[in-house]
Structures are given as C-alpha cells and as structure tokens.
Structure 1
Amino acid sequence: MAAQLRVYRQRIRSAQTTKKITRAMELISASRIYKAQARVQASAPYTRAITRAVSAVATHSNVSHLLTTEPENVQRAAVVIFSSDRGLAGAFNSQVIREALELESLLISQGKEVVFYLVGRKAVGFFAFRKRSSIRDWVGITDSPAFDNALEIGEELVAAFSKDAAEGGVDEIHIVYNRFVSMLVQTPRVVRLLPLELVEGVDAVEDKSTLPLYEFEPDASTVLDALLPAYIHSRLYNALLESAAAKHAATQKAMKSASDNADKLITNYTRLANNARQSEITQQISEIVGGADALATK
C-alpha cells in the first residue's frame, strides 16, 4: 500500500511539473499572438492595394506578360508549404501538410508533375522521414518572419517560373499556408500565386461598357514589370505573417488544453492517493486492534 501511495505522489509531482511548462508556453504564445496579429493587420492594406493595382493594369491593358499569361500546356507545378519550425501546436502542421498532399493529388490527376518548396522544419522533417525530395527549403524564419525572407523566397520562385519546364522550371506556383481566423480557428488555405489570378477588378462590375479608361505611364508592360515582383513578395510576406499568427494561436490553444489535462490528472491522482492513504491508515488501525485483542485473550 505504501509503494502504491509513493507512485501516486510521484505522478502528481510529474503532472505539476508538466503543468508549469505548458502554462509557461501558453503565456508566451499569448504574448506573441497579439504582436503577430498586429503585423498581419498592418500588412493587409498594402497587400490589398498592390493587388488592386496589378489587377487594374492586367485587366485594362492588352499586354501579354509572363507572370499573367496562362500557359497552354502546364507540365510542372510547384507547391510551397508554409509550416512551423517548432511543434506543440496541435494540428497546425498536419492540416497544412494534408492540404498540400491533397493539392498534389489533384494536380497529378490533371497530368502535372509536382515539385515542392518547403518553409519550416516540420515540413522538412515530414519529407525527410518519408524520403521525399524537395527543390528548396527555408528554416528558422517562421516564428518572426521578416520581409527579406519573403524576398528570398519570391526571387527563387520567380526564377523557377521564368524557366521552361524542360530546363527545371515550373509553369504554376501554388502556396499552402494556415490562415489566422480567430484565436480558436486556423484554417489551411491554397492560393495559386502564378500565373496571377485576378481576385479583384472586373468581376464586381456587371456592365463592362461603363469601365473607366486607364492610361499607363510610361507603358503597361513597364508598370507590370515593376508591380508584379512587389505583388508576389507582398503575398508571400502576408502568407508568412498569417502562418506565424496562426501558429502562435494554435500553440496557445494546445498548451491551454494540456494545462487543463494536467489539472485533471492532478485531481484524479490526488483522489487516488487519498484513498490509498486512508486504506493504509485503516489497515494499520486494524492491525493494532487485532494485536490488542490477541493480547487481551491470553
């Protein structure tokens, strides 16, 4: 009975230590989430503005540009997965990787070869464990991404898109990342980055004859050359920020759940320890009474 009581007390101490760790990680994530969310909100107006500008130029000009022209035959597609460098975030990494693999199956069914670009150690580890190859990976930038990281990723992707598929290039580029919806909800999102999909512009106008006329200075092609790299980098930077905010929220939620589970374990083991202690006391009393009765009968 004493040995069982020692086991329960040891488990209580282990659960208390675990609770201290998970509670500390929950508070750290809570302090980081607001800063990450503020960075997402600060980047959103620029991303929307650059999207409108690119949409206006591409919609109201007849210029054929490499980054906006739909290829006749798509042979090779690239998928960029935005994961995290650290775990303990619930289903954060598994759901974005699962979404990317579903996208891969869809692209393969369309007759396209799929190559991967990985952001975050969790995606790199997933592919390494399954002995799957990737073109390029970036690690150590997901907790607090900088715009230079988006520039580096963007330059790599644009360089691959500028090459022919026969020379190792790609015809399409898709990004898969977790979008921050709320503190409790983070959903994976798939966006085709290139060729450019116009998400704003003429779709909101029913009467196409009433569209205003645009003039471009110096010319539409030069304006697109200047705007499209900025657009790509801003979209990648926004995806990095969204993924970072979603990761901190997922970590906070997971650590809150772990702390609650530790509380339940402590409560259950405390009850079991009390029962074991009461049983031990009852046994000791029974032994004392039994011994006294034996002495009295002699």
Structure 2
Amino acid sequence: MGAQLRVYRQKISSAKTTKKITRAMELIAASRIQKAKARVEASTPYARAITRAVSAVANNSDTAHPLTTEPETIERAAVVIYTSDRGLAGAFNSQVLREAEELSELLRSEGKQVSYYLIGRKAQGYFTFRNRSSERTWIGGTENPEFETAKEVSQALLTAFNTDAAEGGVDEIHLVYNRLVSMVSQVPVVTRLLPLEVVEGEAETEVTLDPLYAFEPDAETVLDRLLPVYIESRIFNAMLESAAAKHAATQKAMKSASDNADTLIRDYTRLANNARQSEITQQISEIVGGADALAN
C-alpha cells in the first residue's frame, strides 16, 4: 500500500510540473497574439490601397497582362503551404496540410501537375518523412514574419510563373494557410494568387460612377510595377494571418493541457487520499488485532 501511495505522489508531482510549463506557454502565446493581431490590422489599409490601385488599372484598361490573363491550358500549378516551425499548437499544422492534400488531389484530377513551395519546418518535415520533393522551402521566423521573407517568396513565385511550364514553370499559384477567425477558431483558407482575381473586399454602400483614369506612362507599365507589390502584400498578409492563428492555436492547446493537468492532479490526489486512508485503516486493524491476541 505504501508503494502505491508513492506512485500516486510521483504522478501528482509530474502533473504539477507539466502544468507549470503549459501555463507559462499559454501566457506567452496570449501576449504574442495581441502583437500578431495588431500587425495584421496594421497591414490591412495598405493591402486595401494596393487592391484598389490594381483594380483600377485592371478594370479600366484593355491591356492583356500575363498576371491578369487566364491561360488557355493550365499544365502545372504551384501550391504554397504555410505551417509553423514549432508544434504544440493542436490541429494547426495538420488541418492546413490536410487542406493542401485535398487541393492537390483536385488539381491532379483536372490534369495538372503540382509543385510545392513550403513555409515552416512542419511542412518540411511532413514532405521529408514521405520522401516527397518541393521546389523551395523557407524555415524560421514563422511566429514573427519579416517582409524580406515575403519578398523572397514572391520573387521565387513570380520567376516560376513567368517561366514556361515545359521548362519547369507554373501556370497558376495557390496559397494554403490558416486564418484567425477568433481566439478559439482558426480555419484553413485556399486562395488562388495567380492568375490574378481582383476582388474588392468591401461592398459599396452607394451606387457611384466609376471615375475616368489616365495612366502614365501606360497601363502595362503601371501593372508591371503594381502587381509584384500586390503579390508581396498578399503573401506577407497570409504570413501574418498564419502567425496570429498559430499563437491562438498554441494558447488554446496549452489551456486545454493545463486543464487536463488539473484534472489529473485532482484524480490522483483523491486516489492518494484513499490509499493513505486504507493504509491507516489497515495499520489500526493490525494494532487492534495484535492487542486482542495479547489479551487472550
């Protein structure tokens, strides 16, 4: 009985140590998520301004730009997968990888070859474990994205898009990442980045006439300058959304782990008390039995 009591006490100590770790990680994630949400909100006005500028050029000119023109046949498609560098975030990485696999199956069913561009060590480990190849991989900095990384990703994607499919290029580009809906909900999102589908996010509340635009020097040159910037902003915005969703997923997972540790501590404490009470009862019974034997 004493050995069983020692086991329960060791389990209680282990659960308390685990709770301290998970509680600390929960607080760290809670502090980081506010900064991540602030960065997402700060990038929104710039993204909207770029969207309006690209919309103006694309809708008010007859220029057939490669980035805005749908090709007749699509042979190869690129899928950019956003994951994290670390785990302990619940289903954050698994759900975005599952969404990427479903997208890949859909593209292959349409007769398209798929090439992958990976962001985060979890995506890299997923492909390495399955002996699957990828075009490029970027690791580090997923919890605090930097714009330089977004520029590097954008340049790699634009180079592949501007290359003929027969030479290893791609005809369309898709982004797969997690978007923060709320502190308890992070959903995977699939977006086609290229060829460009310009959609203004906010609906117009009033019917207004479109103004007349004059492009200087010409619409094609303006598109050449605007579209790379637009793509960089979209990629960076997806990185910020993924980072914010990761912190929220970590906080949720660590809170669940802390609650489970509390449950274990409570259950093992009850079992330890029962074992201790049984041990005391047994000792008292042995003393009483010994005293009766001496008396007789």
- TM-score, normalised relative to structure 1: 0.96
**1:114 & 1:268 partners in 2: Cα distance?**
51
- Aligned residue identity for 2:275: A
In the TM superposition, what are the counterparts of 1:121-132 in structure 2 within 5 Å?
Answer: 121-132=121-132
Distance across 1 between alignment mates of 2:155 and 2:34: 30
Match of 1:242 in 2: 241
Q: How many residues align?
A: 295
**Displacement of 1:204:** 6.3
Extract unaligned runs of 5+ from structure 1: none
Mapping for residues 129-144 of structure 1, pairs under 5 Å: 129-144=129-144
Write the letter of the residue equivalent to 1:172.
Answer: E
1:76-155 to structure 2, matched below 5 A, reads 76-155=76-155
Aligned-residue offset at 1:206 = 11
Distance 2:45 2:127 in 1: 35
Question: Residue deviations 1:147-190, cap 9 Å, x none?
Answer: 10100000000000000000010000000000011111111111
Report the equivalent of 1:221. Answer: 220
Which residue in 1 is equivalent to 2:8? 8
**Shift of residue 213, structure 1, vs aligned partner:** 2.2
Structure 1 segments, 4+ long, off by >6 Å, are 203-208
Separation in 1, partners of 2:141, 2:235: 13
Partner of 1:280: 279
Deviation at 1:31, TM superposition (A): 0.7
The C-alpha deviation readout for 1:37-90, integer Å capped at 9, x for no partner, is 000000011111101111110111000111111111000000000000000000
**SS class of match (2:114):** strand
TM-score (norm 2): 0.97
1:33 aligns with 2:39: no
Structure 2 portions without partners, runs of 5+: none
What's the RMSD between the two structures over aligned residues?
Answer: 1.6
Residue 169 of structure 2 corresponds to residue 169 of structure 1: yes
1:175 maps to a residue whose letter is L
Distance 1:76 1:26 in 2: 42
Give the Å deviation of 1:211: 3.6
Question: Aligned to 2:182, what secondary structure does the other structure show?
Answer: coil
**1-side partners of 2:207 and 2:245: how far apart?**
39
- What per-residue deviation string (whole Å, max 9, x for no partner) do you get for residues 238-261 of structure 1? 000000000000000000000000
- Tell me the CA shift for residue 212 of structure 1: 3.0
Which whole-Å CA distance do the structure 1 matches of 2:41 and 2:76 have between them? 34
Match of 2:71 in 1: 71
What SS is found at the alignment partner of 2:69? coil
The change in CA–CA distance for 1:296 and 1:207 in structure 2 (over 3 A counts) is: closer
Alpha-carbon separation, structure 1, partners of 2:197 and 2:111: 21
